[in-house]
Structure 1
Amino acid sequence: MSGETSPRETTVLAFSPAGRALVLAGPALLGILVAVLAPILARWLVDVGFPVLGVVWRVVASVDSWWEIAVQAAILAVLGALVSVEIVRRSTRVTIGRAAVRLETGDRVVAVSRPDVDFVFMDGSFLVLLDRESRQLFHGEPQADRAPLERAFREYGYPWRDGDPFTGLYRPWVPDSGQLPIEVDAVLSARAVALSKKAASEAGELRGTVEKLGYAIRDDGDRQLWRPLVRS
């Protein structure tokens, strides 16, 4: 991944040419490779009498004509292309300037003014921007790697942190535990349902509702973690 400085004194952090080629072509090529090699591997396992072979493997082993392999390769290539589209749609192109940060994720564009940003850090593979009350201004998976992101944010004077400064404040959400106000508990219950349905947009809106009630949310796999908002 790379970043390039433009004449307008902004830095754009997106896929490098090699990274973009890998994202766009990699899944489809992997699908074709699987289509060609899987029958060979399956037949070998059958021949050596591998003790645990399910129905799927036996069906794969029966694929031995060129047209069956071609059809299988075409199907997996299409599925791979769909994966590529989803990766590009969900990843974020970051444009950093001295006055603001522009974050483009698919058709969604978020512009955050520099004075509003009090914390910038990576949470795993996700870029996070928080305001002075530790509310989430942005949370998304950037196209660029951590190193160029950190370098660019520091260059433009943004408060980059090595990790989430509020990690120690988070607690696991337990429904009806009495630790949170009833209205917050209700929103987190609704958000748990949204997360189980993979409804990212709805989950994001409910996160905003929780923050308006004075709490921050962080996802840890299937678990929701919460903490009070903190003024810096």
Structure 2
Amino acid sequence: METIIDEPRWVRRGSWFGCPLGGALLGAGLYAVAGWVVSLAWFPMQGPFKLIVQIPRPWGLLGLIAVGLVAGWLFAAVWAEQRLIVTVAPGSVRLQRGKKKRRIEAEVTAVFKDDKELVLLGVEGRELVREKADLAEADLAKGFTEHGFPWQDEPPAER
């Protein structure tokens, strides 16, 4: 039996809807404030805002909403590709980030989070793995301890 530690389902699925929606709202908001920004002589980088104001309605608004949707979708795709999935089984740990997979079957003497990184130490304190992980520390601790790995709440002291 193995334990899979991943972001919650609502985050994984919600990002595919929330990011494009947020991008579309930002595009619409940008269109809404462009005229006001152009009226402020002191505001820097007015060129893009002047360009937006010159695009006839409704094409400027629709264009910015479309750009926001695409940007949000691309953001969600990058987020999904960078997500770390940890699979813990007795005697082995698998890490997956996008298409890149890694399996650790060496003796693990300590597992902990060091700031935002998951760290697995081997014999003599040798670092086997150090991966950026936004996963909840409680979920990681539970998954590793269920399979007999030595979870530590804090990084061990330097030797």
Q: What TM-score results when the alignment is normalised by the length of structure 2?
A: 0.81
Q: How much has 1:45 moved relative to structure 2?
A: 3.7
Among 127, 140, 153, the residue aligned to 2:131? 140
In structure 1, distance between residues paired with 2:143 and 2:17 = 28
- Report which structure shows greater RCO (CA 8 Å, sep ≥6): 2
Aligned to 2:122: 131
Confirm or deny: 8 A CA contact 1:14 1:142 kept in the other structure.
no
Confirm or deny: 8 A CA contact 1:39 1:63 kept in the other structure.
no
Identity %: 25
Pairwise mapping of residues 80-159 of structure 1 onto structure 2 (< 5 A)? 80-113=72-105, 116-142=107-133, 144-159=135-150
Measured on the aligned residues, the alpha-carbon RMSD in Å equals 2.4
Aligned to 1:5: none
Deviations 1:104-162 (Å, cap 9, x if unpaired)? Answer: 1222221112x521221223322221212333322223463222112222232212222
Pairwise mapping of residues 63-78 of structure 1 onto structure 2 (< 5 A)? 63=55, 65-78=57-70
Describe the shift of the 1:151–1:145 C-alpha distance in structure 2 as closer, same or farther (beyond 3 A). Answer: same
Confirm or deny: 8 A CA contact 2:4 2:88 kept in the other structure.
yes
In structure 1, distance between residues paired with 2:149 and 2:156 = 15
Q: How much has 1:34 moved relative to structure 2?
A: 0.7
For structure 1, which runs of at least 5 residues remain unmatched after alignment?
1-7, 170-229
In structure 2, distance between residues paired with 1:66 and 1:138 = 52
AA matched with 1:41: V
Aligned to 1:163: 154
Give aligned pairs, total: 158
Deviations 1:153-212 (Å, cap 9, x if unpaired)? Answer: 22322122223325xx5xxxxxxxxxxxxxxxxxxxxxxxxxxxxxxxxxxxxxxxxxxx
